[in-house]
Chains A and B, each alone.
Chain A
Amino acid sequence: MGRPVAIIGSAQTNHGKRFDVTYPELVKEAVDAVFEKTGISPDDIEGVVSGTMPSMMEGVALTHFYFAEVLRSVGKPILKTETCGSTGISLAFTGYYWVASGMADLILVVGSEKMNEGDSQATMTTVLEPFYQRSFIAGAPGVFSMQSQEWSVKFGIPEEKVRAAATRLSVDHHNDAFDNPHAHIKKRLTEEEVNTARIITYPVRLWDVCPNSDGACAMIFASEAMAKKLGLKAAWVKGIGYSGEEYWFGDSEKAIWQCAIDASRQAYDMAGIKNPRKELDVAEVYNPFTFQELLYYECFGFCDFGEACDLTLKGTFSREGELPCDPSGGTLCSNPIGATGLNRAAEAALQVTGQAGDHQIPGAKLSLAHAMGGVDQFNGVMILGSEK
């Protein structure tokens, strides 16, 4: 166990189609904003962590070099962290490790993505095994649709009920996004619009899927001594967990999804959480697909397996529910992939420091941030608290 670590500031760009700026300019927006919000001088930062999806998405290889100036990393150590969709949460882990190890007291962490300039589906297809599997996957949605079907059949959940719960999440999150100034897709949807939207990969329909977003997120990690010295509101890292599975899709079960279960339990154990639904005040669950959000509720122990649809329809996970999930609109409404997991941590930190604005969950003291990466391969969970 390392030293206590706090997140003492974060800044997100507006996410969306950001053709108004170059990629380094987009990153600069987030980095400049975090220094402005915290009053910290870039000179005091001891090291920088940067991350994005694979270079094929970016059109420029080794983006942390491309961003050297705007990351304020000239003359400093820089680390790149890249774990596909979980890149953002892995970035937060890297900042945490750096400070927890005692090797630094103040670290800048930046995640970013420009998804609208290249071919995001093609890039994601190249994550798959090239000899046997790549031909047979319809980008990311194909993988997650098969996972969803595996889960609903295994637990005997009627298709109509799964559809209804997924629709509830879609309608709610697209509404929630109106309260998040940085969200990409904000839309008042009717249930019928969601239920009859065009099919992407069955059973996933258009409003069950996240958008391609451009955006960046910057975050500052500090040691206890540095956090006290700076006197900023702190979200303390109470627990972290990360777990992975075999590379080949089809080698392991994805309904009872062991790496999601293990990542959450590692984080709960470290944070001393026994009953996550009761103890957590808010969760930023990685939800690029509505169906997957339901599955995560079960894998994270928010409810038993097979229960997520019923509880979702009862409102247990809505803004006013027992455990509000993704009050920011989540990944479903904004997915600049390399920043997305860091956005989850930023939102979770804003909640426990009372700074989430119009989507603040009143009195939130303990929150969960999460992201997933690869072909259903890796999950990372971070628990943040208002007290050390």
Chain B
Amino acid sequence: MENVIRLPHKYAAGQTFARFYNGLKESKIYGTSCPACDKVFVPARSFCPSCLTNLSDWVEVSQEGEVVSWTYSNKEFFGMPGKPPVVIALIRLDGTDCDFLHLIGGINKDDPDTVKSSIKKGTRVRAAWNDDKIGHMLDIKCFEPVS
């Protein structure tokens, strides 16, 4: 027996996430900093995950950083942005204190060996933007190696 359950959902973004999304529309990546822990979180968070202080100090963070870890898939998964193959990476943007999860682009993604020749831990990458921006994480098209 087949049964389709559809549960459309509208998530309230709240003021912090909404402001972050508005920044993306202007090709800016915003974080918030915790004065108590001396840490910068990006994307912006409304409270510090360590000390739970409400965060109100906004910083525009660097659009460049280093690859921390990555993976490659040539199979389509649920919710995958775009078509495979994709390379997903944890990226530590300069001056921030957590990893930023996004796509890697601007490289040959034919197979993992060619990907390995382009990126590894420590590879410098920079945000590449879409022309049309809607206030979404995918306004950043991907992060590309800095030549």
Contact = CB atoms under 8 A, between A and B. Distances in A.
Nearest to B14: A131
B49 A250 contact: no
A250 B100 contact: yes
Contacts of A249: 90, 99, 101
Contacts of B81: 135-136
B78 A149 contact: no
A201 B120 CA distance: 15
A65 interface: no
Contacts of A200: 73, 75
Interface residues on chain B, size class: 35 or more
A19 to B, nearest CB: 11
A197 interface: no
B77 A125 contact: yes
B51 interface: no
Residue from A132, A133, A137 having most chain B Cβ neighbours under 10 A: A132
A125 B88 CA distance: 14
Interface stretch (A9-17, A140-148, A296-304, A322-330): A140-148
Given A121-B78, A132-B43, A134-B79, A202 B73 contact: yes
A59 B71 CA distance: 31
Interface in B24-72: 43, 49, 68-72
A251 interface: yes
A122 B112 contact: no
Given A132-B101, A132-B137, A139 B69 contact: no
Interface string A150-166: 10010000000000000
Contacts of A133: 101
A139 B102 contact: no
Contact of A199 (B70, B73, B98, B121): B73
A135 B79 contact: yes
Interface in A345-365: none
Contacts of A150: 68-69, 90, 121
Nearest to B79: A125
A119 interface: yes
Interface string B94-117: 000011111100000000100100
Interface in A314-328: none
Given A121-B78, A131-B11, A202-B71, A250 B137 contact: no
A66 interface: no
Contact of B71 (A125, A135, A201, A248): A201
A246 interface: yes
B125 interface: no
A231 interface: no
A197 B31 CA distance: 41
B3 interface: yes
B102 A136 contact: yes
Interface residues on chain A, size class: 35 or more
A181 interface: no
A138 interface: yes
A203 interface: yes
Contacts of A204: 71
B2 to A, nearest CB: 10
Nearest to A136: B101
A32 B49 CA distance: 45
B73 A125 contact: no
Given A137-B88, A248-B49, A249-B101, A146 B71 contact: yes
A53 to B, nearest CB: 15
Contacts of A75: none
A122 B115 CA distance: 26
B103 to A, nearest CB: 6
A142 B69 contact: no
B112 A202 contact: yes
Residue from B72, B77, B138 having most chain A Cβ neighbours under 10 A: B77
B101 A59 contact: no
A201 B99 contact: no
A2 interface: no
A250 B70 contact: no
Contacts of A77: none
A131 B90 contact: no
B127 interface: no
Nearest to A130: B11
Given A131-B17, A132-B137, A202 B72 contact: yes
21 contacts: A121-B77, A122-B79, A125-B77, A131-B17, A131-B137, A132-B101, A134-B79, A136-B81, A136-B88, A138-B73, A138-B80, A138-B88, A139-B77, A142-B88, A146-B89, A146-B90, A150-B68, A150-B69, A201-B73, A202-B73, A248-B49
Given A138-B77, A201-B73, 20 more contacts: A122-B78, A125-B78, A133-B101, A134-B79, A138-B86, A138-B88, A139-B77, A141-B71, A142-B71, A142-B88, A146-B71, A146-B88, A198-B75, A199-B74, A199-B112, A203-B112, A204-B71, A246-B49, A250-B99, A250-B100
